[in-house]
Amino acid sequence: MLRNSQRSETSSASASRATWRNVSPTLESASAAVSSERNRLAADVYRGEVGFDELRAPQGAREYARRLAQHGVTPTALVRAYRLGQQIHLTWAIDELVRTYPDPVRVLAAVRTLLSVNFRYIDAVSEQAIEEYQAERERWVRYVAAVDPDRRRVVVRGAGPGRRRVEDAWRLADA
């Protein structure tokens, strides 16, 4: 039987995978890992173990934003994925609060806190992801203009033995 946090993680991962399934198999698998990583960070924020001033988007979320930029997925789609994940998470959390606490006053107070913390979390993490996306998109556009079409196809598909070398060379050239 799944624990509550695992159910939320599973729902978020499923929605995220469905959103990106047709974009790329690489993005689909990255999406599931990122959902899990974001859920762990959100739980730390809810418990007060991570403050908003020290909140940093998980590495996987930043990498996912870079991959979306490389695949030409719009930043609007990236932000939409955050909103959809937020909706799924909040629906699950509110349902759990209603199920767990029969006192509507207590549930309302908890929902107010949940909404406040959740909004600040999503705002901070999605802004960082968009910044990462924009920086990568700018690098990617410069890279695409400088690289021949065959090598570009290898990198975009995420295949081929030279993929990492090409990406590393492009990042070094950009530094």
Where on the phi/psi map is residue 48: left (φ > 0), alpha (ψ -120 to 50), or beta?
A: left
Task: Give the pLDDT of residue 39.
Answer: 75
- Whole-angstrom CA distances from 119 to 1, 14, 43, 69, 146 are 30, 21, 14, 24, 40
Domains of the chain, residue spans: 4-136
pLDDT along the chain (175 residues), means of 10: 47 47 46 67 83 88 91 91 90 92 93 93 93 94 76 63 57 53
Give CA–CA dist 75/152, Å, rounded: 21
